[in-house]
Amino acid sequence: MTRGMIKAAAAVLAALLLGACSVFGPTELPDDPARADPLPQDQLVLEVTYGVGGLAPPELYATAAPWLLAYGDGRMIMAEPQNVKDGWHKSYRQTMIDPELVAGLAERARAAGLDRELDFGSPQVTDLGSLNFLLHGTGEPVRHRAYAFGPEMEDGLSPWERSRRDLLRSLIDNAEALAGDASWQPYRPELIFVYEQRGDTHDRGTAEPWPGPDPDRFLIEGTKSFRGTACGELRGAEADRVYQASLRNRFGQWTVDGEPRKLLINAVPGSRTGCDR
């Protein structure tokens, strides 16, 4: 190989390395379109859930819920930052944003290729959770799952897999940015799920009187859910009252007619939340 050919090959290699985004796929969402025609009002456009790892306590499974939700009408619900040691029950906030911005985000995600099934690889670590992602724009809804979602655990993945994970991170960042300076309000749920757990659970905190209706009236024993031995749902004012009380009783220790009960609240029903899941 001549010196000129070596220089040419080196130039091509350098161009490939510098242009890794184009070689291995996009790592960021495009800027356009910022807006698009609004999607159906009640359509769940975006759902981001950080899953529970294999060695997590059962209480975390019962309270596992989406971290971020965005709907076609502009509703956005987001979890507040919280450390697990502070309790199982999570608090949330909600706001309204321009529906055209939500639709635009879905369209940009489609343009980046996130509207189809993708392989995000699997880092060689065990018992960690996964990022579960739902995207629903103008086409069919698509789900993504990225195990051990974090740059510090992704060194062994291929460049293609890492670029797709970077693209998911970009979508999450862009979703958060949609709210901008919007006014956030405390979350007021219309529906919650209540799971009862018995046996060897992590009992912490101080028991307080149960603020809702008699659990034996609405809990269904032997449900298929892995989140508890019994499950039921509350709606409307009862749901809101129990959720607000759960923020003062983060560990789910209650008394019903003087008897202790472990009742855990899942306050943000997502696409994978329910008594049969």
DSSP 12-51: HHHHHHHTHHHHH--SS--S--S--PPPPTT-EEEEEEEP
pTM above 0.85, yes or no: yes
The CATH 3.30.1560.10 portion of the chain extends over 44-178
Q: Could you give the residue ranges of the DSSP H alpha helices within the chain? A: 3-18, 20-24, 58-63, 99-111, 159-178, 215-218, 236-246
CATH superfamily of 44-178: Mago nashi (3.30.1560.10)
Burial (CB count within 10 angstroms: exposed 0-12, middle 13-18, buried 19+), residue 90 = buried
pLDDT in tens, 94-109: 999 999 999 999 999 9
The predicted pLDDT at position 201 comes to: 63
pLDDT in tens, 7-40: 444 444 443 443 434 457 899 999 999 999 999 9
How many other CB atoms sit within 10 Å of the CB of residue 257?
9
φ, ψ for residue 232, nearest 5 deg: -155, 170
The predicted pLDDT at position 23 comes to: 56
Ranges of the chain with pLDDT below 50: 5-22
The predicted pLDDT at position 119 comes to: 96
CA distance 229 to 217: 15
Q: Is the peptide bond before 123 cis (omega within 30 degrees of 0)?
A: no
Of the chain, the end-to-end C-alpha distance in Å amounts to 63
pLDDT in tens, 191-216: 999 999 987 666 777 899 999 999 99
